[in-house]
Amino acid sequence: MGNNFICMKKKDWEVVGSKSKRHGRSQRKMPAEEELLHRQALSIALHQHQMSQRFDGSMSRRIGSTSARFGSTSSRRRTLSDPFSNGKQVPEFLENLKTKKVVLVHGAGFGAWCWYKTIALLEEVGLLPVALDLMGSGIDQSDPNSITTLADYVKPLVEYLHNLPEDEQVLLVGHSCGGASISYVLEYYPKKISKAIFLCGTMVADGQKPFDVFAEELGSIESFMQESQLLMYGNGKDKPPTSLMLEKQQMKGLYFNQCSDKDIALATVSMRPIPLGPIMEKVSMSPENYVSSRRFYIQTLEDHALSPDVQEKLVRENPPEGVFKIKGSDHCPFFSKPQSLHKILLEIAQIP
């Protein structure tokens, strides 16, 4: 694995406000196209920040708000491809859907920005999508190197759920390592979560680290630390590493192998360093909260970051209520297969 990494030293990065900027080794200027994409991504982030000020719970980075109804339900195991039609497919309206708020929790290194297609599709049918930036992610101004625990990392999600009215529930979606984030809050706010959806996520068992889920493909923590040249040392080289940042081509191969060039370009200029503390921490879960919660799993069948075999193993060892599969999807179906992901979210939302 070590031979595939491109060396990245701490001095190659500087943190400016909420942004992390990589300096090329030769300090050369960005090509014109990359500079334009970078500016567009920062513009999107600024727009998100401005929008977040207009809604309750500024820490939630909530994007959009409408109301509606829809239809069609199935709890059986499903496999979907992604025929992207130009016409809008709006399901039949349902009058009695109790939970319309969908809270979208990104994976490590991502941010609320990654859900932009899902947000638009959910709003079209009248659901209320809420996208969150966890600490040190997206436009949150925290330094990823300063985030050492899962509790710190998920503070925005905890605050959002804590501030919900007592009688209100949400549909909670966690992507990749966001699976550990939603597992964490299931322990503390089980009554506020109607269903938890793990999107190619780290559906960990009690006492397991989120990193353990990736260990079969990345190797042990010890070997990963020894071989990895992507680690960042926020407290100095003589101290344990505090975060890691994948090189652009690695991101493309692991996360975006089925995505469009435009989405890859947006992602590679928007990703932030991944705090190591939260993904190396053991998660504690109890039978009365996490185990008894309504969990669903969405598998991605062309995933290079979390292989279909590993996802299948997670489902076998910790069985959820329902399992869905997306054909042709990489680790980021919100980019590569947004319509298929959307249809599955609607189906799960409508399961009684």
Q: Which residues are catalytic?
A: 176, 303, 331
By CB neighbour count within 10 A (0-12 exposed, 13-18 middle, 19+ buried), where does 91 fall? Answer: middle
Residue of 22, 184, 195, 189 lying closest to 97 (CA atoms)? 195
- 113, 270 contact by CB (below 8 A): yes
The β-bridge partners of 174 are: 105, 198
Residue of 21, 77, 6 lying closest to 296 (CA atoms)? 77
CA–CA distances in Å: residue 51 to residues 146, 253, 318: 27, 33, 38
Strands 295-300 and 274-275: unpaired
CA–CA distances in Å: residue 325 to residues 232, 235, 256: 35, 42, 17
Q: How many CB atoms lie within 10 A of CB 79?
A: 12
- 258, 336 contact by CB (below 8 A): yes
- 103, 171 contact by CB (below 8 A): yes
- 199, 175 contact by CB (below 8 A): yes
The terminus-to-terminus CA distance of the chain in angstroms comes to: 45
* Residue keyed to tokens 């969990």: 295
Residue 307's contacts (CB-CB under 8 Å, 6 or more residues apart) are 216, 217
CA–CA distances in Å: residue 48 to residues 60, 138, 160, 230: 11, 10, 17, 29
Query: If you count DSSP H runs as helices and E runs as strands, how many of each does the chain have, helices first?
Result: 13, 12
